[in-house]
Structure 1
Amino acid sequence: MLGAIIGDVVGSIYEFDNIRTKDFPFFQTRMECTDDSILTFATAEWILRGGDVADFYCAYAMNYPCPMGSYGGMFQQWVVEKARGGAALPYNSCGNGSAMRVAPVGWAFDTEEEVMTWAEKSAVCTHNHPEGVKGAQATAMAILWARQGVSAVDIEGRITQRFSYDLTMAVEELQQRYSWRGIDGKGNGGICQDSVPQAIICALKAKNFEDAVRNAVSIGGDSDTIGCIAGGIAEALYGVSENMRHKAMNYIPLEFQKILREFEQRYGANVV
């Protein structure tokens, strides 16, 4: 789970100031947790405590209302409606918010059926569009398979077969062709189908955890979210070093650190 938070933090300052290089200082003072991390911790606490995941997403958004990068507009409206006691119905979103917050599911459950079910539960309270659900499920399944020792090459094949994502593009090609407007300006980098495959590529084609996050930042687009998704998968694949873990804690509020420790004690982490 920590890998997702690191990916979010490192990408936080590049979301609206994209870069096209992997050569940048990894941790910088102006970086911080964004809405991606906040809602990832909400997912983790939901798994730890039980109950309705929508209640956790609403409570976290109310308690941390102004993160770097802000929440999506439709999500903010949903939070206001729910906080007022309204119906707060899902809004058919295929936005990548469903995938950015799902990493804890990939760590907490050990069967494909459980991961698919809980990833869907984490998504549908807001992102009930089929692509929104698929983005969460694909991300969580990649984490599960990596935890189980499946190689990056085999994960690529499984994701392609099960979710029909095209993972053939190299990171270097994405650096040239990808942006907030998708591949070659023909998409939308804020939706699952135009950002989750790219984030998965960044993780699977990396040399190690840090390289995966650098890949994610270097392709542009929604940098914090792509970093969050790629980082969550990359932790399971490669592990996070003790040194990097120590540095990352400087960016995580103490109340979130407590949740992280409790979650990792129960469900594990990949420290190398």
Structure 2
Amino acid sequence: MFGAIAGDVIGSVYERNNVKTKTFALFDAASRFTDDTVLTVAVARALLHGESPGRAMREMHGLYPEAGFGPTFRAWIEAGDGAAPPMSASNGAAMRISPVGWACATLDEVMDTAERFTVVTHDHPEGVKGAQATAAAVFLARQGAGKDALRDHVERVFGYDLSVALDQVRPGYAFDLSCAGTVPHAIRAFLEAHDFEDAVRNAVSIGGDSDTLAAIAGAIAEAHWGGVPAPIAQAVWERLDAPLREITQRFCAAYALPFTGGAASSAASG
């Protein structure tokens, strides 16, 4: 969950200024959290409190209306309570869903919860699939599944092709807001990595929707490698405000997430 936030913050400055290399600064003065973080925290809040995910997302949007929400999500907000969910297949379904992979006890529960939290704003089969694949990958990684087992499960259950190397994808990859054009590459970024930082660098180096690619890859990498490295965790923590920190801290404590290093570690341990 915090890995998704870290990926979002790191990728934030490259979303509209793509890089096609793994050699880039992880942080600069403009690095910030975006709607990816806000909605990830909203999902975490809903899971903690047993509240409606729609309510949590609406209220968190109200706190951060300028965080960079997409037009379909903003239209859903403006339509008000009771509005029909849009038939969206965008990658917003996947970038926010990682807390489900930590809060659920079985894969069946992951699948059901990911769908329930997704159809509120992404009532399209491809949106649901992207969210379920991401949440399942986080769940399997935190349960100790190896990369081969994780890849085989995602390919078999969700039909994504994870065999395409990033070196083949990177040159021609352009901005793609769909789950189908984002989730497989983000998972591949994790599969090719040797540690958390490498996974995020892989994701950003693809180009396109960099913060969302990095949020998805970072969420899986956190679960696989047992947390976010301390220097990265501290730099990300410093860029969050008090409400985001408070919910993140409580979620990590409630579900025993490996919160590592610096200010983030100190805050999470109370």
Q: TM-score range by the shorter chain?
A: over 0.9
* Distance in 2, Cα, partners of 1:62 & 1:246: 26
Check the 8 A contact 1:3/1:232 in 2, yes or no.
Answer: yes
4+ residue runs over 6 A deviation? none
For residues 211-246 of structure 1, give each alpha carbon's deviation from its aligned partner in whole angstroms, at most 9, with x where no partner exists: 000001000010011111111111001131223212
Structure 1 counterpart SS, 2:180: helix
TM-score of the superposed pair, with normalisation by structure 2: 0.93
Residue in structure 2 matched with residue 114 of structure 1 by the alignment? 109
* 1:11 matched to 2:21: no
* 1:80 matched to 2:78: yes
* Distance in 2, Cα, partners of 1:33 & 1:117: 28
Q: CA deviation at 1:33?
A: 0.3
* Distance in 2, Cα, partners of 1:271 & 1:259: 13
Q: CA deviation at 1:271?
A: 4.6
Check the 8 A contact 2:166/2:206 in 1, yes or no.
Answer: yes
TM-score of the superposed pair, with normalisation by structure 1: 0.93
Alignment of 1:1-272 (within 5 A): 1-67=1-67, 70-82=68-80, 85=81, 87-180=82-175, 189-238=176-225, 239-271=227-259
RMSD: 1.1
Check the 8 A contact 1:152/1:205 in 2, yes or no.
Answer: no
Identity between Structure 1 and Structure 2 (%): 43
Structure 2 counterpart SS, 1:190: coil
Q: What one-letter code is carried by the residue in structure 2 that aligns with 1:192? A: C
The answer for unaligned runs of 5 or more in structure 1 is 181-188
For residues 15-67 of structure 1, give each alpha carbon's deviation from its aligned partner in whole angstroms, at most 9, with x where no partner exists: 11111011011121111000000000000000011121111111111221001
* Distance in 1, Cα, partners of 2:168 & 2:256: 35
Residue correspondences, number: 259
